[in-house]
Amino acid sequence: MATRIQFENSCDVGVFSKLTNAYCLVAIGGSESFYSAFEAELADVIPVVKTSIGGTRIIGRLCAGNKNGLLLPHTTTDQELQHLRNSLPDQVVVQRIDERLSALGNCIACNDHVALTHTDLDKETEEVIADVLGVEIFRQTIAGNILVGSNCTFSNRGGLVHPYTSIQELDELSTLLQVPLVAGTVNRGSEVIAAGMIVNDWTAFCGADTTATELSVIESVFKLREAQPSAIVDEMRKSLIDTYV
């Protein structure tokens, strides 16, 4: 289910938060309604952790992670690192890496199996990513833009990319990522997808400016409508029953 929220009157929620299947990070200093929106959806399922990275609030763009691990830039202070290690579940590996391109959220887009990275990323970093996040890495550009982390968002079930992506590129990416992709916008025509929304396998949060059309596109491509445990069982039931008695 997709929800519309705002962080301090800004619709760029993807900048101030990070959502994965195992945890959720939010920036400090926002209003309580911001947190309550997250907690209402996620509190009983995954931990919602308030943090800052390097003293800044733009945590969504600085870190990259999935259910297996979390990567932090070299600007992260030791206290923040320790705080995150303490707050997150044990199976999540928290690692700080030394990378010239420190806005890891802009450079890496990943789900639990595949990651797309900035073309200029170091070789060592790539190895660390593969190791920590447990993903297969592809260096790619999207619509001619090298900041893949900002121009696309994908979960294990679907993905949304920059609207200028050509059909051939969509096919190529789709093959790489093994998920259905759609080119679209968020936050009333904004092309920076990852800054405008955060998503995991069963829920998504978008900026308050997102129109109904965009929301419906998001819900359909990330398959959020039937993301209730019961719905999955119903589908399975249909395929199990073959005869009426």
Partner 1 sequence: MDMDMASSGMFVPPQTLGTVLCCICGVPMEPNPANMCARCLRSRVDITEGLPRHAAIVHCPECSSWLQPPRSWLRAELESPALLSLCLRRIHKPLSRLVRLVHGEFVWTEPHSKRIHVKLRVQREALHGAILEQSHLVEFTVQDRLCESCSRAQASPDQWVATVQLRQHVPHRRTFFFLEQLILRHGAAARAVRIKETSSGVDFFFGHRSHAMKFVEFVSGVVPVRRRSDKQLVSHDTKSNNYNYKYTFSVEICPICREDLICLPPKVSNSLGNLGPLVICAKVSNSILLVDPETLRTAFLDADEYWRTPFGALLSSRQLVEFIVLDVKEKTPEVTVSGSRYCLARVEVARMSDFGQNDTTFDVKTHLGHLLKEGDVVLGYDLYSANSNDVEMDKYKGFELPYAILIKKSYEEKRQRKHGKQRKWRLKRMQMEVDDGARGRGSEEKRNNEYEEFLRELEENPTGMLDQMTIYKNKDHRPSETASMLSGDDDLPLDELISKLELSDDEEGEEDEDMAQ
List residues near partner 1 by CB under 8 A: 141, 144, 146, 163-170, 183-185, 188-191, 211-214, 216-217
The minimum distance between CB 187 and partner 1, in angstroms, equals 8
Instruction: Name the minimum Å distance from CB 111 to partner 1.
Output: 22
Please state the closest distance from residue 210 (CB atom) to partner 1, in A. Answer: 8
From the CB of residue 215, how many other CB atoms can be counted at a distance below 10 Å? Answer: 18
Residue 232 has a CB neighbour count (10 Å cut-off) of 11
- In the bound complex, what is the minimum distance in angstroms from residue 143's beta carbon to partner 1? 9
d(CA 127, CA 102): 16
Taking the complex as a whole, how short is the minimal distance between the CB of residue 27 and partner 1, in angstroms?
A: 26
User: In this complex, which beta carbon is closest to partner 1, that of residue 71 or of residue 183?
Assistant: 183
**Cβ count within 10 A of residue 57:** 19
CB of 155 to partner 1, least distance (A): 19
Nearer to partner 1, 89 or 189 (CB): 189
d(C-alpha 40, C-alpha 144), whole Å? 38
Residue 85 Cα distances to 78, 82, 90, 91, 110, angstroms: 10, 5, 8, 10, 21
CB of 68 to partner 1, least distance (A): 31
Q: Measured between alpha carbons, how far is 151 from 193 in angstroms, rounded to an integer?
A: 5
List 184's β-bridge partners, or say none. none
Q: What's the CA dihedral at 19, 23, 28, 29 to 10 degrees? A: 60
Nearer to partner 1, 29 or 189 (CB): 189
Judged by beta carbon, residue 36 or residue 166, the one nearer partner 1 is 166
In the complex with partner 1, the residue whose CB is nearer, 5 or 135, is 5
Q: CA-CA distance, 201 to 198, in Å (whole number)? A: 11
Which contiguous run of DSSP H or E holds residue 116?
Answer: strand 114-117
Between residues 212 and 241, which has the closer beta carbon with respect to partner 1? Answer: 212
- CA–CA distances in Å: residue 38 to residues 59, 60, 173: 16, 15, 30
- 150 or 190, CB closer to partner 1? 190
